[in-house]
A and B are shown apart, each in its own frame.
Chain A
């Protein structure tokens, strides 16, 4: 029994010790070009929506956020809509990042009126 435990312990130790470390990125080269972030319109009524387009070339992952309101879609073009919650100016931000840990954010301001 004791031998069994020693064997299990050694196997576990071996597996942990032999874990491959991820290779550090050899390059910090930016893999994308973030040209612009544009909205179809700069002002919408409550309950309405507008398309927002991120003009990007290259391989990148995209993250969207808004100070208020709802975002539909997850690609380079999304639909921003504001319900009854959100009158006033609201900022929609699109952050682009690549495998080399480069990232860039751009924002547009949409005015929501009642």
Chain B
């Protein structure tokens, strides 16, 4: 496996050296990792995400099961990307849980578990395979390595927290990403599709989170001069988790999330966006805590470290 990754990276680097074409400026899509950046462009994307969960789902319908009363998390994320060549962008992504909390009601008494701390660091290389400026179409793919902030589970007041409130799953992983982008001249409409496959390793406690397959379809339209509306529909498919090589019955499933988003752009350098995540279909294996909703605020800064870079964000004609 290691040899495969090494060869893959070498191939990437080789093609980067041969690159002749151009990486344009992709649209902003909230807190998701996107396509490539123009050469010498630095992008800093920071966001805050609040998520809540409440009630249980058994398959695709509500369950009477009672254990966790509700849960919430507050997360700060940071992505820094840099266009190394016209076709190759490297980025680093990390995040920190301000809290990852579950409130319980057991035998009429209330209990709370609260984890906090760094989640993981993901290093990604992305290569722009197709950039057709005539038809406004591009395709980018990348591979990332996920490194946990810590491999030891978090202990609070002498008690080791359960997986559900740990800030990090303590396992290494690999993320494969692809990005398809199409712009329509008519009505300033852009469509982009992102796929992310995350393969999670097993942590030292012999717990393996299920691999995830995420597809997100974005439809972006400029509303007024600097304001863009984006509709995202995301599909998340998660495989079962494994504990000591035994599948965890109530783990994994599928969910669809509708994410409307507003993006305000200042001089194509600063983008401020707000988005709301509303799951509209959830189908879980066994009985699982239901995701209620989430909202994020996002600040994206794109800086050209070369004077000509910012001009690349103008659409070529």
A: which residues have CB within 8 A of B? 46-49, 61-74, 78-79, 81, 83-88, 114
Q: Is the CB of B159 within 8 A of A73?
A: yes
| B164: chain A residues within 8 A (beta carbon) | 85
| 28 A/B residue pairs, CB under 8 Å, sorted by A | A47-B65, A62-B158, A63-B155, A65-B155, A65-B159, A66-B160, A67-B244, A68-B162, A68-B243, A69-B162, A70-B111, A70-B113, A71-B159, A71-B160, A72-B104, A72-B111, A72-B113, A73-B159, A81-B67, A81-B104, A81-B106, A84-B56, A84-B65, A84-B287, A84-B288, A86-B248, A87-B249, A114-B249
How many Å lie between the Cα of A47 and that of B68 in the bound state?
9
Please pick, from A46, A49, A62, the residue contacting B107 in the complex, using a CB distance under 8 A.
A49
| B68: chain A residues within 8 A (beta carbon) | 83
Least CB distance from B205 to A in Å reads 7
How many Å lie between the Cα of A74 and that of B288 in the bound state?
27
Least CB distance from A53 to B in Å reads 15
How many Å lie between the Cα of A3 and that of B299 in the bound state?
48
Q: Is the CB of A66 within 8 A of B65?
A: no
Residue of A nearest to B68 (CB): A83
Given A70-B162, A83-B67, 5 more pairs with CB closer than 8 A = A63-B160, A65-B153, A70-B111, A84-B250, A85-B248
Interface string of B202-228 (1 = CB under 8 A from A): 000100000000000000000000000
Residue of A nearest to B206 (CB): A67
How many Å lie between the Cα of A64 and that of B164 in the bound state?
17
Least CB distance from B304 to A in Å reads 40
Instruction: Scan residues 240-294 of chain B and give those whose CB is less than 8 A from a CB of chain A.
Output: 243-244, 246, 248-251, 286-289
Tell whether A49 pairs with B106 under 8 Å between CB atoms, given A84-B287, A85-B248.
yes
| A68: chain B residues within 8 A (beta carbon) | 162-163, 243
| B111: chain A residues within 8 A (beta carbon) | 70, 72, 79
How many Å lie between the Cα of A82 and that of B163 in the bound state?
12
Please pick, from B102, B107, B205, B286, the residue contacting A84 in the complex, using a CB distance under 8 A.
B286
Say yes or no: is B20 at the interface (Cβ < 8 Å to chain A): no
Say yes or no: is B61 at the interface (Cβ < 8 Å to chain A): no
Which of A46, A47, A83 has the most chain B CB atoms inside 10 A of its CB? A83
How many Å lie between the Cα of A48 and that of B106 in the bound state?
7
How many Å lie between the Cα of A88 and that of B251 in the bound state?
14
Residue of B nearest to A94 (CB): B158
How many Å lie between the Cα of A85 and that of B157 in the bound state?
23
| B158: chain A residues within 8 A (beta carbon) | 61-64, 74
| A87: chain B residues within 8 A (beta carbon) | 249
Which of B102, B157, B162, B288 has the most chain A CB atoms inside 10 A of its CB? B162
Q: Is the CB of B159 within 8 A of A84?
A: no
| A73: chain B residues within 8 A (beta carbon) | 159
Interface string of B29-46 (1 = CB under 8 A from A): 000000000000000000
How many Å lie between the Cα of A72 and that of B162 in the bound state?
11
Instruction: Scan residues 110-158 of chain B and give those whose CB is less than 8 A from a CB of chain A.
Output: 111, 113, 153, 155, 157-158
Q: Is the CB of A74 within 8 A of B159?
A: yes
Q: Is the CB of B246 within 8 A of A88?
A: yes
Instruction: Scan residues 145-195 of chain B and give those whose CB is less than 8 A from a CB of chain A.
Output: 153, 155, 157-160, 162-164
Residue of B nearest to A88 (CB): B246
Q: Is the CB of B65 within 8 A of A74?
A: no
Which of B56, B159, B205, B248 has the most chain A CB atoms inside 10 A of its CB? B159
Q: Is the CB of B159 within 8 A of A64?
A: yes
| A62: chain B residues within 8 A (beta carbon) | 158
Least CB distance from A6 to B in Å reads 40
How many Å lie between the Cα of A63 and that of B113 in the bound state?
16
| B56: chain A residues within 8 A (beta carbon) | 84
Please pick, from B66, B159, B205, the residue contacting A67 in the complex, using a CB distance under 8 A.
B205
How many Å lie between the Cα of A71 and that of B248 in the bound state?
19
Least CB distance from B65 to A in Å reads 6
How many Å lie between the Cα of A73 and that of B157 in the bound state?
9
Q: Is the CB of B67 within 8 A of A84?
A: yes
